[in-house]
């Protein structure tokens, strides 16, 4: 499934193509997609395909096509502080992007059938937190994953603001999925070969919208052959953040505001350089006269003595302009992590600095 947009050379180019094709339509979704490199969720030997608009599967590891994920993210209408449940959470790629939008006071849970995929997702999550500069640009709602069949969620589980199912849902399981939602919540899932958005407008009232045709593998039905009993899936409890953790969030937020204010004052309300207006050059074209004589054609050129001189000046001007506008072939310097620099410059004990930085390696 996929192939709706051209392949990109890197993650940013992939996002540019998704925007151009109108799969990504809002700034929040764009920021989340740019913050997490899709290639980081591929096995090393398959990374050449990471920026193609195609699904990828290797064993139990699976990623949907970027155009599908972008439609899902847009349809979920995510906001900070909401609760999210990802059924078939897989590599954690989608859950991590969602976590960037939910912020520190959201809830981000995932259910995955295969324990090896859960382990893979935890490794990728740890890599993102420890190494990605994008982590410091957001306040992150870290996903929590549990192993189990998403059709066996305990009936006493809490309901969620947003739910996504990453496998084809049979019609007989539609009501089961709807009951996972709070009133006002949104459920996105493949239902009868259509990516479908269902909004719960009341205790027993729903609005349904078909988004696009899709082809997903169906949900795996529970197998009770071994014990004859259902293995209930218990979702993680909604934990209350510690006072220490709340202090870290507040301090990081304050530092980010200071950095933003300093940047604004340095750049004059964010405008670094006034736009350059180029003088529009009128190009002189040489006039040609074509003379017909019997069946032969003779072409002659009419020009001023100064034309040759003017032309060489124009060529020189064009060459100079190209040199000015030509991007430097040197590799640009990596972006500066101002939050990290500011924290490390504070007159604080090192353990506290590292705590504020989440003990990140970068």
Write out the E strands in the chain.
Answer: 56-58, 61-63, 83-87, 107-112, 144-147, 160-165, 181-191, 194-202, 205-213, 287-293, 296-302
- Sheet of 194-202: strands edge to edge? 144-147, 107-112, 83-87, 160-165, 181-191, 194-202, 205-213
**Can you read off the two tokens belonging to residue 272?**
């670094």
| Of residues 186, 144, 160, 178, the one with CA closest to residue 85 | 160
> Rounded to an integer, what distance in angstroms lies between the CA atom of residue 145 and that of residue 90?
9
Instruction: List the alpha helices (DSSP H) in 78-205.
Output: 93-102, 115-131, 174-178
| Of residues 82, 81, 71, the one with CA closest to residue 185 | 82
Q: Which of 6, 64, 115, 242 is catalytic?
A: 64
The answer to whether 135 and 128 are in contact (CB under 8 A) is: yes
State yes or no: is 64 an active-site residue: yes
Q: What share of the chain is helix, strand, coil (3-state, %, to 5)?
A: 40, 20, 40
Q: Count the alpha carbons within 13 Å of 145 in the hemisphere toward its beta carbon.
A: 26
Q: What is the CA radius of gyration of the chain?
A: 28
The answer to whether 209 and 186 are in contact (CB under 8 A) is: no
Strand-pair category, 160-165 with 181-191: parallel
The residues carrying an active-site annotation are 64
């Amino acid at each position: 499934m996929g192939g709706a947009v051209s392949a990109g050379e890197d993650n940013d180019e992939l996002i540019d193509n998704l925007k151009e094709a109108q799969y990504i339509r809002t700034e929040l979704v764009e920021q989340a997609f740019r913050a997490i490199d899709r290639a980081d969720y591929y096995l090393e030997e398959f990374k050449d395909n990471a920026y193609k608009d195609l699904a990828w599967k290797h064993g139990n590891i699976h990623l949907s096509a970027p155009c599908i994920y972008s439609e899902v993210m847009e349809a979920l209408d995510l906001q900070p502080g909401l609760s999210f449940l990802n059924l078939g959470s897989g590599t954690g790629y989608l859950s991590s992007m969602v976590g960037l939008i939910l912020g520190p006071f959201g809830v981000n849970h995932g259910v995955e059938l295969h324990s090896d995929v859960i382990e893979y997702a935890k490794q990728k999550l740890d890599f993102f937190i420890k190494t990605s500069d994008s982590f410091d640009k957001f306040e992150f709602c870290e996903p929590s994953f549990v192993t189990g069949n998403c059709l066996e969620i305990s009936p006493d589980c809490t309901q969620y603001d947003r739910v996504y199912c990453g496998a084809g849902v049979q019609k007989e399981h539609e009501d089961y999925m709807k009951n996972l939602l709070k009133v006002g919540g949104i459920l996105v899932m493949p239902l009868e070969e259509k990516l479908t958005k269902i909004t719960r407008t009341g205790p027993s009232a729903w609005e349904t919208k078909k988004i696009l045709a899709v082809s997903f593998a169906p949900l795996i039905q529970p197998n009770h052959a071994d014990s004859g009993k259902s293995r209930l899936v218990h979702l993680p409890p909604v934990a209350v953040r510690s006072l220490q953790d709340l202090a870290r969030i507040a301090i990081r937020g304050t530092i980010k505001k200071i950095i933003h204010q300093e940047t604004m004052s340095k750049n004059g309300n964010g405008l670094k350089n006034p736009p350059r207006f180029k003088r529009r050059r009128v190009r002189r074209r040489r006039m040609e006269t074509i003379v017909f004589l019997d069946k032969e054609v003779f072409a002659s050129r009419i020009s001023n003595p100064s034309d040759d001189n003017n032309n060489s000046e124009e060529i020189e001007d064009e060459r100079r302009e190209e040199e000015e506008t030509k991007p430097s072939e040197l590799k640009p310097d990596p972006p500066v992590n101002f939050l990290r620099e500011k924290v490390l410059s504070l007159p604080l004990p090192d353990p506290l600095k590292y705590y504020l930085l989440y003990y990140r390696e970068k």
